[in-house]
Amino acid sequence: MSRLKNRLPFIIYLLIVIVILGFLSLLMGPIRISASKILFSIFSPGEDPLIYVIIWQIRMPRLLLEILSGTLLAMSGSLLLGISGAAMIDNIAVKSFYLLSCVIAAISVFLIVFGFNLESLYPWLLGSLAQTTWDKVFIAALFILAGLIVYVFYYKDLNALMFGEYTAKTLGVEVKLIRMFLFAVTIIISAAAVYTCGLLCLTGLIFPYFVRLAAGVNYKYMIPVSILTSASIVILIDIFSRIIFPTELPIGIMMAVLSGPFYIYALHRRRLGL
Amino acid sequence: MAYAISFNRINYPIKVKDASGCILEQNQPPARIITIDPAITEILFSLNLRDKIVAVGEKCDYPEDAKKIEKVGKDRFDLKKVVELKPDLIIVNLDTQRSDMEKLRLIMLPPVSAEAQPTPLQVFAVDPHSLRDIYNTISVIGTITNKEHSAYSLLQRMKRRVEWVEARSKKEKRLKAVVVIKKRPLTVASEGTYFHDLLAASSLIDVSPRGKGMYPGMKRDEISKADPDVIITSTDVAKNPKDIYNNRDFRKTSAGKNKKAVSIDAEVFLRPGPRVVDALEEIAAYTYGWPASSGKAVPTGRQGEEN
Amino acid sequence: MEMLKVEALDAGYENNVVIKNVNFDADIGDFIGIIGPNGCGKTTLLRAIAGLINISNGQVKLRGKDIRRINRREIAKRVAFVPQMMVPTSGFTVEETVLLGRIPYIGRFAFETDKDYREAKKAAEELKVEQLIDTPVTSLSGGEFQRVAIARALAQEPKILLLDEPTSHLDFRFQVKVLRMLRRLREDKLIIATFHDLNLAARFSRKLLLINKGEVVAFGRPDAVLTSDNLRLAYKIKLEARKNPKTGKIRVYSS
């Protein structure tokens, strides 16, 4: 298909972005490790046991979890888009959730600045990438696999839905059932996303909404593009917050804060009738 | 941020059946609304749709701002002008604008460019007769203009005021009343109209003839037999209540003898819109001698001389 | 047994019944034009026949079988519906859009085959959009996209083709071309289309169904349906239909 030829450069570009961001992520941390040593450790792991532990037991799982979180968010965000279309933003539940996330994020920042210890809250609510284990990575990967399988078998239905309820129905798609099924899948994948990066991370579900503006809603391409974009965003947010804040700021807070403008812009578009 | 969280939810695309049995389909809220019915105009203004109205009728004089909007007809639509304005929604009154409605439904708006194609005019008909119809009309207009929450609030306020009148008037002595719609031939309002509902809400007994339709005629002997205690009419029929209670048909009734009649401003009374509640309050206040009541500053009608 | 039989049909949206007591039948080779004022039943009737909306009463039968008893995928192989105003969806090419029409033939766990690509190509050629095959649909004109939508429906290899206002978005030169093409297709299909333009409807339809306020005013050959009385009843303005003695075709004029 010649269409793939058009898309390929974009996808390759995104892959490059991820590799660069990933590398930057590996560079960051309390112990300084030079770039060359990192590369060395990746290609011949056994050499330096200390560096090995840092890279492979701490930073790499963290990076992988970031990628996986982004992937999970992208998958459930795209599914949500497929089920509800552009109207995804209008849902009162979505609006309330964002509002609540902003409030929680604001309060948390306040508390952290004043030295309160929120350690126990971190994982569930705000998400923590600090103590990542390979177990977590493994579980996340399982959910992603399940999600990908759903996509491979349902992308046709999703594409049909994009053309409108009546077109989908006349093509033989059982719209009601498919929507319910995909909604259930969305919930499961979102739960996995919460597991990996906390409740507030669900604010990241909005990113595929914007990916569709750039790449269109053809699910054949939207999935890889969404995944790569969301994963990049998560890594970026993490790098960003590690640079700015000396103490570990939970990823959920940054996600809620940074997705705010996107959300407002999306609402603005809806007002205009898009 | 407030505008983002507003509760006027967008739930498009919508399909709503109107009073004529036809379906309005819209993919987004209307941005260019036209109506020549004064009551509908008042409803639109009450729902904060001022900036979406592109044209009204010459009779649309309330609120003040409505007078400044472009006019496209008085009792009939100026079809040419309407098409020129390219509205995306026209709201008509089924009763008074039926033939125009049919014509509007045939018109396809001319294409905006060589590429674009003609689109049909979206026409929505309402047909409010009773008070409940008025509530439903406000509600459905809220739905088709994406102001469901505003419509709901407006209705809550209206209903509260109606309930207030109901509660207070229940304690008063039961009186008989009739609403005069036209002097010659003498026509009154009966069951099925909001006039009848307003009488009921003020605990007044409607003595109009039943089973003869919504606006039956009444003969002098029927009036004498019914013997209303209060006559309610509009400034269209009688600028001064004297003109009605001194009228030959009414002179010998209790209302005539006690000079008890009230003439309410036609622009408030005769429009099936939000201001019917103002009329209701005026009717009740006049009938029972209450002080100028709940919220409304100045009664807009003229009241009979106290006996 | 006729291809399509509509019996005492009531249908609408949510809790509203929009069309009431619609009765008619049609067979392969027919071209039926549905006419009537905007918003008053034409589109709703078409959607009901396509099985896209709730039927509250009555039946729609395909070769004697109630469509409520046939599963959607099977219906999709026999009945194809083209909506009135489709907004081109970003991210799809003409080919990908026409290929959507093959969905009923591709299994849940399968993908497009060569046959599917061939059928899609055939449909695109029928509608003269095959040279646009790789263009994104968002860069097409309204008329081109409408033709792509019809091609999508043709790719479903339907026996019944339902089109909602197929001419209202077509470039003028294509209005007649497409209607001619549809008329050619009716050899082995049943075609039902709604029309805003009475003259186009009269010219191309074998039979007309005049509907207003959700009820059928008349159904039959154009000269029987397009009487002044019927038109006045439905359109409430004075229209007159005259038969051209030479061609036998009816034209509608306002009088």
Concatenate the DSSP letters of all residues of A202-263 into one string.
GGGGGHHHHHHHHH-S-HHHHHHHHHHHHHHHHHHHHHHHHHH-SS---HHHHHHHHHHHHH
- CA separation for the pair C136, C145 (Å, rounded): 10
Say whether pLDDT at A118 is over 70. no
Which residues of chain B are under the pLDDT cut of 50? 1-7, 295-307
Say whether pLDDT at C232 is over 90. no
**Who among B1, B7, B29 is closest to A273 (CB)?**
B29
- Report the pLDDT value the prediction gives residue B307, as an integer from 0 to 100: 28
Rounded to a whole number, what is the distance in Å from the CA of A67 to chain B's nearest CA? 31
Contact A92 B12 (CB under 8 A): no
The beta-strand segments (E) located in A81-191 are none
Q: What letter would DSSP give residue B126?
A: E
- Report the pLDDT value the prediction gives residue A6, as an integer from 0 to 100: 63
Helix (H, G, I), strand (E, B) or coil at B26: strand
My answer on whether B37 and B96 are in the same domain is yes
How many residue pairs bridge chain A and chain C with CB atoms within 8 Å of each other?
A: 81
Helix (H, G, I), strand (E, B) or coil at A117: coil
Rounded to a whole number, what is the distance in Å from the CA of C145 to chain A's nearest CA? 13
Say whether pLDDT at A30 is over 80. no
Q: Which chains touch B (3 or more CB pairs under 8 A)?
A: A, C
Nearest CA in chain C to B120: C38
Q: Which chains touch A (3 or more CB pairs under 8 A)?
A: B, C
Cβ atoms of C234 and C210 within 8 Å: the answer is: yes
H or E stretch at B231:
strand B230-234
**Who among B9, B27, B31 is closest to A90 (CB)?**
B9
Inform me whether the C-beta atom of residue C96 falls under 8 Å from chain A C-beta atoms: yes
Say whether pLDDT at C125 is over 70. yes
**A256-266 mean pLDDT:** 85
Rounded to a whole number, what is the distance in Å from the CA of A197 to chain C's nearest CA? 31
pLDDT digits (tens, 9 = 90+) for B9-43: 556 778 899 999 898 988 888 999 999 999 999 99
Contact B120 C196 (CB under 8 A): yes
Inform me whether the C-beta atom of residue B25 falls under 8 Å from chain C C-beta atoms: yes
Token pair of B140, please? 């459905």
**Who among C12, C213, C237 is closest to B106 (CB)?**
C237
**A100-128 mean pLDDT:** 75
Contact C13 B23 (CB under 8 A): yes
Rounded to a whole number, what is the distance in Å from the CA of B50 to chain C's nearest CA? 26
- Report the pLDDT value the prediction gives residue C6, as an integer from 0 to 100: 92
For residue A167, name the pLDDT band (cuts at 50, 70, 90). Answer: very high
Catalogue the long-range contacts made by C102-110 (C-beta closer than 8 Å, 24 or more residues apart).
Answer: C102/C155, C102/C156, C103/A156, C103/A157, C103/A160, C103/A171, C103/A172, C103/A173, C103/C76, C104/A171, C104/A172, C104/C73, C104/C74, C104/C76, C104/C77, C104/C156, C105/C77, C105/C157, C106/A156, C108/A153, C109/A153
Residue B22 within a domain: yes
Which one of C144, C236, C252, C253 would you mutate to disrupt binding with B, by most B Cβ within 10 Å of its Cβ?
Answer: C236
My answer on whether B6 and B130 are in the same domain is yes
Q: How many domains does chain B have?
A: 2
Rounded to a whole number, what is the distance in Å from the CA of C204 to chain A's nearest CA? 25
Nearest CA in chain B to A91: B9
Rounded to a whole number, what is the distance in Å from the CA of B14 to chain C's nearest CA? 10
Nearest CA in chain B to C233: B102
User: Which residues of A have a CB under 8 Å from any CB of B?
Assistant: 87, 90, 92, 95, 99, 264, 267, 270-271, 273
Nearest CA in chain A to C156: A171
**Who among B1, B9, B28 is closest to A92 (CB)?**
B9
User: Which residues of C have a CB under 8 Å from any CB of B?
Assistant: 12-14, 16, 18, 37-41, 43-44, 141-143, 168-171, 196, 213-214, 235-237
My answer on whether B108 and B203 are in the same domain is no
pLDDT digits (tens, 9 = 90+) for C64-112: 999 999 999 999 999 999 998 777 888 889 999 999 999 999 988 888 8
- Report the pLDDT value the prediction gives residue A45, as an integer from 0 to 100: 66
Domain around B221? 173-303
Inform me whether the C-beta atom of residue A164 falls under 8 Å from chain C C-beta atoms: yes
My answer on whether B253 and B142 are in the same domain is no
Q: What is the CATH number of the domain that holds B107?
A: 3.40.50.1980
pLDDT digits (tens, 9 = 90+) for A69-105: 889 999 998 998 888 876 777 777 777 888 888 888 8
For residue A267, name the pLDDT band (cuts at 50, 70, 90). Answer: confident
Inform me whether the C-beta atom of residue B102 falls under 8 Å from chain C C-beta atoms: yes
Contact C100 A169 (CB under 8 A): no
Inform me whether the C-beta atom of residue A91 falls under 8 Å from chain C C-beta atoms: no
My answer on whether B120 and B190 are in the same domain is no
Q: Which chains touch C (3 or more CB pairs under 8 A)?
A: A, B
- CA separation for the pair C39, C18 (Å, rounded): 10
| Cβ-Cβ contacts under 8 Å, A171 against chain C | 76, 100-101, 103-104, 156
Residue B153 within a domain: no
pTM as predicted: 0.81
Contact B22 C13 (CB under 8 A): no
- Report the pLDDT value the prediction gives residue A120, as an integer from 0 to 100: 67
My answer on whether B24 and B133 are in the same domain is yes
**Who among C14, C168, C236 is closest to B117 (CB)?**
C168
Contact A2 C83 (CB under 8 A): no
Inform me whether the C-beta atom of residue C114 falls under 8 Å from chain A C-beta atoms: no
Interface pTM (ipTM) of the complex? 0.88
- Report the pLDDT value the prediction gives residue B141, as an integer from 0 to 100: 96
- Report the pLDDT value the prediction gives residue A238, as an integer from 0 to 100: 85
- Report the pLDDT value the prediction gives residue B304, as an integer from 0 to 100: 43
Give the domain ranges of chain C.
4-78+158-254, 89-157
Contact A171 C101 (CB under 8 A): yes
| Cβ-Cβ contacts under 8 Å, C136 against chain A | 216
- CA separation for the pair C234, B231 (Å, rounded): 43
Give the domain ranges of chain A.
2-271
My answer on whether B83 and B32 are in the same domain is yes
Return the CATH class of domain A2-271: mainly alpha
My answer on whether B13 and B135 are in the same domain is yes
| Cβ-Cβ contacts under 8 Å, A173 against chain C | 72, 103
Q: Which of A273, A49, C49, C180 is nearest to B27 (CA)?
A: A273
How many residue pairs bridge chain B and chain C with CB atoms within 8 Å of each other?
A: 70
Nearest CA in chain B to A274: B28
Nearest CA in chain A to B5: A95
- CA separation for the pair B100, B92 (Å, rounded): 9
Rounded to a whole number, what is the distance in Å from the CA of C81 to chain A's nearest CA? 6
Contact C37 B117 (CB under 8 A): no
What integer best gives the mean pLDDT of chain A?
A: 81
- Report the pLDDT value the prediction gives residue B3, as an integer from 0 to 100: 41
- Report the pLDDT value the prediction gives residue B2, as an integer from 0 to 100: 38
| Cβ-Cβ contacts under 8 Å, B3 against chain A | 271
SS (H, E, C) chain C: CCCEEEEEEEEEECCEEEEEEEEEEECCCCEEEEECCCCCCHHHHHHHHCCCCEEEEEEEEECCEEHHHCCHHHHHCCEEEECCCCCCCCCCEHHHHHHHHHHHHCCCCCCCCHHHHHHHHHHHHHCCCHHHCCCEHHHCCHHHHHHHHHHHHHCCCCCEEEECCCCCCCCHHHHHHHHHHHHHHCCCCEEEEECCCHHHHHHHCCEEEEEECCEEEEEECHHHHCCHHHHHHHHCCCEEEEECCCCCCEEEEEC
| Cβ-Cβ contacts under 8 Å, C170 against chain B | 117
**C176-189 mean pLDDT:** 85
Residue B272 within a domain: yes
CATH architecture of the region C4-78+158-254: 3-Layer(aba) Sandwich (3.40)
Nearest CA in chain B to A97: B5
**C10-16 mean pLDDT:** 86
Which amino acid type is present at position C152? R
**C34-45 mean pLDDT:** 89
Say whether pLDDT at C169 is over 80. no
Higher pLDDT, C173 or A121: C173
Tell me the β-bridge partners of C190: C160
- Report the pLDDT value the prediction gives residue A46, as an integer from 0 to 100: 66
My answer on whether B53 and B96 are in the same domain is yes
Token pair of C99, please? 């290929």
B110-121 core/surface letters (b: 16 or more CB in 10 A; e: else): eeeeeeebbbbb
My answer on whether B142 and B197 are in the same domain is no
Say whether pLDDT at A48 is over 60. yes
Say whether pLDDT at A129 is over 80. no
- CA separation for the pair B60, B109 (Å, rounded): 25
What integer best gives the mean pLDDT of chain C?
A: 87
